[in-house]
Structure 1
């Protein structure tokens, strides 16, 4: 196993480096110290051809100007916060409203648009990068100075682990995720519409016209939101279900997970034979099928389009601060936040 470090570009006069983690099966994962962005994941298909299975850019300028959070860590709070405001311990806080009057993905800066400190990790069992960032009190309007550590690890079982850790000197909100867009066809040969997805979930979060939770958890039974036995993504894209239509013909929904670290999320591409298993501590996964992807962005020599990739964002339920019956993502003062998501790359 080894790690290759190379210059990738600059932002605000500071160097951005790319780190490629390589295991003994030649699985490769490349990430940046900018936003902890995962730029490439290279895995074999059933014929042994190694190809990239995520969306990204070849240069720093495109990430800075065009990226719809490709591969980035999102925070302090992923998803939307209604009205860009919340109350905590009797005090009101105002956040940037960067999404039609609401706060999205931690604001226009957030964790996804900053440089992180990076330390290379290597032992006999795994290679990785430990990223760290200090978010000062008041950044993007949030209370508390938050120390965040995010560790990427790749082992020889073809498992990629993301370990999120954080603590704050004041009670605050924290809901972290990784926003990688997957496409298992390899080198973006096809869109993701015929990927088959299986999620161990009985309920999903109903959204309103602003893509905010109504507070209702809907039963997936007898709908295209039932992924318990697996279904093609295209079924939701062509569906006349009001929730599919609301988000631009597809999915942009949180699914409440029934189980954890038990193969609860599995996606595969029949043609390539690639399979991805996602397991997590988090209460839910947001399935986003790229319904709003901008057309014609230069994504590794392919022009971007709707459904070119899809996200499986493990996280807390969206806007939980305004829905007391949702699991809380309040981080208490001096409390340690810790969460683990594991991605396993397989071939059928």
Structure 2
């Protein structure tokens, strides 16, 4: 019999049978599969679905058509115990009443635009200012607040769902009709892949990413995410002003609280008020620069591990930067899937992207998209379980 189990980092003699969450039939693991279920209706009566991708090792990824969102991610710990490790709501009502970008696809322009403005080919464009006078994540009705169409679902060696949204010319002030696809896939190597592509009929800007909130101890676990150990292989980050717009500088991380080149618990320096950047962000809410240009293939952006459960993931993307947010604005007013209130530091967010405000600061990169070209952001979560029990 061939057994397939969640990738384990072997650092002690732990029984692999406890780590593996297997579904075996006749000695052969089931192929990756999917299931579709209703998740309620929008005020206009349109139905919302959750498509759950699963593999033979106990991993399940729930993809919601509202906001093309990662609504859940279930994975085992080192003892085989399953838990949902992403924050969110138990019903559609929460996503409509108090949206927090939980697992959502965000765009057209993820992150912030100063004053909600940008200039393209000599013409100025104004987008909604929905965050302290700045534009955030595409505006008041970005991609997180629309219903996406299901184009295709597949099962086999990989389970996948492909979603589509067409953003009309002038949507939230952005030029051009933008046709966007979001494809989620889960394979037997425990890789969750999200691929965003977009095309336009007029010059525009595009910066599309995923905004999943992670607590690898389990959604709602009281310890939160401050004990998670984070690595970001970035030599520089972009400092921000009081409204979290980049100043335009590339600041070396060396000898600062932003140096995550070696594995570091998130909570170790999250309250270091001697650095005004921490005060501005109420913790970490900053862009880390991995490279200067978009790559053809995904490269390592970050690694996260939760010592208590052993759960972790490596994050890869072809984008040049990643926003690290330490859940600073969770204030206890949101009740999540487990029935527990989410508070500051209960999760972390890692968003592969073009640098914030890049359309206004070309030294930070380009978000321009022209007709005939294809925008592409490939995000890969390589899930793993480490073998050494925390002491």
Matched, 1:168 2:200: yes
1:262-277 pair list within 5 angstroms: 262-277=299-314
Matched, 1:225 2:258: yes
SS at match of 1:297: strand
1:277-296 pair list within 5 angstroms: 277-296=314-333
1:146-295 pair list within 5 angstroms: 146-189=178-221, 190-240=223-273, 241-248=275-282, 250-258=283-291, 261-295=298-332
Q: In structure 2, what is the Cα distance between the partners aligned to 1:294 and 1:175?
A: 28
Which residue, out of 318, 323, 339, partners 2:361? 323
With 322-331 and 255-264 compared, the bigger mean Cα shift is at 255-264
CA drift of 1:334 comes to 2.4
Equivalent residue, structure 2, for 1:3: 34
Structure 1 residue runs of 5 or longer lacking an equivalent are none
Given that 1:236 and 1:244 are in contact with CA atoms closer than 8 Å, whether structure 2 keeps it comes out as: no
Equivalent residue, structure 2, for 1:307: 345
Change beyond 3 A, Cα 1:245–1:149:
same
Equivalent residue, structure 1, for 2:81: 49
Q: In structure 2, what is the Cα distance between the partners aligned to 1:275 and 1:98?
A: 33
Q: In structure 1, what is the Cα distance between the partners aligned to 2:46 and 2:182?
A: 21
Q: In structure 2, what is the Cα distance between the partners aligned to 1:187 and 1:60?
A: 17
Specify the structure having the higher radius of gyration (Cα): 2
| Cα root mean square deviation, aligned | 1.2
CA drift of 1:262 comes to 4.2
Q: In structure 1, what is the Cα distance between the partners aligned to 2:33 and 2:155?
A: 10
Structure 2 residue runs of 5 or longer lacking an equivalent are 1-31, 387-391
Given that 2:220 and 2:342 are in contact with CA atoms closer than 8 Å, whether structure 1 keeps it comes out as: no
SS at match of 2:382: strand
Q: Deviations over 1:143-194 (max 9, x none)?
A: 0001101100000000010111110000001000100000001243220000
Q: In structure 1, what is the Cα distance between the partners aligned to 2:71 and 2:269?
A: 27
Equivalent residue, structure 2, for 1:342: 380
Given that 1:18 and 1:32 are in contact with CA atoms closer than 8 Å, whether structure 2 keeps it comes out as: yes
1:56-95 pair list within 5 angstroms: 56-95=88-127
SS at match of 2:235: strand
Q: Deviations over 1:64-93 (max 9, x none)?
A: 111210000000001111111111111111
Equivalenced residues, count: 347
CA drift of 1:119 comes to 3.0
Given that 1:179 and 1:312 are in contact with CA atoms closer than 8 Å, whether structure 2 keeps it comes out as: yes
